[in-house]
Amino acid sequence: MHTTCRTVFRLKVFVYRPLQLLGLLPISFDSKSKRFFQSQWNLLLSIVQTIIVSSMLPVAYYILVTMVYNETSGLSNLMVILELIIGYFLLVSFCVKMLLRGSNVTEILNIFGGIFFNVCVESDCIDENLLRTYLRKVILVDYILFPITFGMYIPFSIGWKLSHLISWLLNSYSIFLMLMIINLFQSTIISSSIIYLKLNNRVTSAVQTLRKLNENQITISGSYLPKVKTYRNLSLEINKLCYLHRMTTEAVQRMIGILSMPLLIITFFQFFVVLTEAYYNYIYLMNNMFIPSFIYGQILSSTLFMLMCLLQFYYTVSFSAQMTQRAEATAILLNESFYNDAGRCVEQSIEMFTLEMLHRDYRVRIYDCFALDFTLAHSVSIGISNITVGLIPLFPRNHL
């Protein structure tokens, strides 16, 4: 449990605090009441953040476009401009969404907190492996790959001109904001996954209790009243688990509804970055690999940026798929009870719980356009490969 607390503390430092300080999450947590609330200070930071994003980033992006403009490749220029436009709309939409829906986010987080403290009371309630995986991802992508990637680009491509340097720092800052937005979504998914796992453990415990009652049915046939009382307690437990399962699912869907637009843009942004960088790196290598003075710093920086987006996309899909699997696993655990002779009240509770699950879709769906699962990852990888191969002939042949 000590290592779990240490992991949670590190996640608080590396994820929750940056979200607050950057104004992306104008919410604080009261450890005494164990509730989230809207902080006036964090709300002010969020307003300042929105002003900076909406007013200063366009100027920085304009300087970057003029700096990397390539007169011989209109396609390359178009891809850079589109990448910056997508990133700008992502940040503006998220900042405005947090300002307008901050109270809703606070309510949803309090629902998560109430369910979490309700079901997670034992020392084994936290999925240590999942938390460690998430912590390693945050440290690797946000605090190792990110500074190396964008710091390496300065001496090889940007140079030390003040206007270029400031523009690049603002661009790097915008990318870091995107990483924090993804962390907010992944934190929500991981919290839900932990809650579903604990609910599944309690469902398993209830089914095992039924199994023990059936095994001892002959020997305790004279103790009918205690068995009826046990059935009643099991029925109440299953009804409570059904309620908590429903509340968790509704809270997840509400949070996804708030983050749907930023998530849609982020997914498209990651797809576009990987496509752009793969195309750019191929063309850049074909043009310069036989030049003796060829410097690999720029292409290495682009490759690391592409790797960052791939890792973020992979972990988002992985965490979402794991949460969906755990949410749907509850129905499988409930079906194991059908092999037991349960009381009428228990059977009704199990039937109600099962019907509740049959009418819900536990996948993380974005505007009903797509679900964040490995099927999407497979489709995206095929799409990027096909589009990249199709773009190569569009590059002027005299440059290859």
DSSP β-bridge partners for residue 29: 36
Give residue 319's pLDDT. 92
Q: Which of the two residues, 345 and 194, has the higher pLDDT score?
A: 194
* Residue carrying the six token digits 């039924």: 210
CA-nearest of 83, 65, 64, 302 to 163 is 64
Residue 39 maps to a domain: no
Residue 63 maps to a domain: yes
pLDDT 10s digits, 169-192: 887 888 888 888 888 889 899 989
Residue 219's pLDDT band (cuts 50, 70, 90): very low
The number of domains in the chain is 1
Mean pLDDT of 209-216: 70
Is the sign of the CA dihedral 342, 343, 348, 350 positive or negative?
negative
Residue 218's pLDDT band (cuts 50, 70, 90): very low
Question: Given a cut of 60, is residue 144 above it in pLDDT?
Answer: yes
Residues present in the chain in total? 400
129-133 — which CB contacts under 8 Å span 24+ positions? 130/190, 130/193, 130/194, 130/322, 131/4, 131/7, 131/8, 131/11, 131/190, 132/7
Percent of the chain with pLDDT over 70: 81
Beta strands in 289-377 (DSSP E): 365-366, 370-371
CA-nearest of 332, 349, 344, 343 to 213 is 343
Give residue 76's pLDDT. 64
Question: Given a cut of 70, is residue 1 above it in pLDDT?
Answer: no
CA-nearest of 199, 235, 246, 263 to 346 is 235
The residue type found at 354 is: T
* Residue carrying the six token digits 């924090």: 180
Is the sign of the CA dihedral 313, 315, 318, 324 positive or negative?
negative
Give residue 71's pLDDT. 54
Give residue 189's pLDDT. 92
Residue 9 maps to a domain: no
The residue type found at 49 is: Q
Residue 214 maps to a domain: yes
Q: Is 371 helix (H, G, I), strand (E, B) or coil?
A: strand
Residue 312 maps to a domain: yes
Q: Which of the two residues, 70 and 347, has the higher pLDDT score?
A: 347
Residue 58 maps to a domain: yes
Q: Is pTM beyond 0.75 here?
A: yes
Residue 27 maps to a domain: no
Contact 3, 128 (CB under 8 A): yes
DSSP β-bridge partners for residue 365: 371
Q: Which of the two residues, 188 and 360, has the higher pLDDT score?
A: 188
Contact 199, 244 (CB under 8 A): yes
Terminal CA-CA length for the chain = 59
Residue 262 maps to a domain: yes
pLDDT 10s digits, 286-330: 766 655 555 566 777 778 888 888 899 999 999 999 999 998 888
Distance of alpha carbon 68 from alpha carbon 392, whole angstroms:
20
Residues 6+ apart with CB under 8 A from 37: 27, 28, 29, 30, 106
Q: Domain limits at 266? A: 49-399
pLDDT 10s digits, 231-281: 788 888 888 888 999 899 999 999 888 888 888 888 888 888 888 888 777
Question: Which range, 82-91, 100-109, 248-257, is most confident?
Answer: 248-257
Mean pLDDT of 158-165: 70
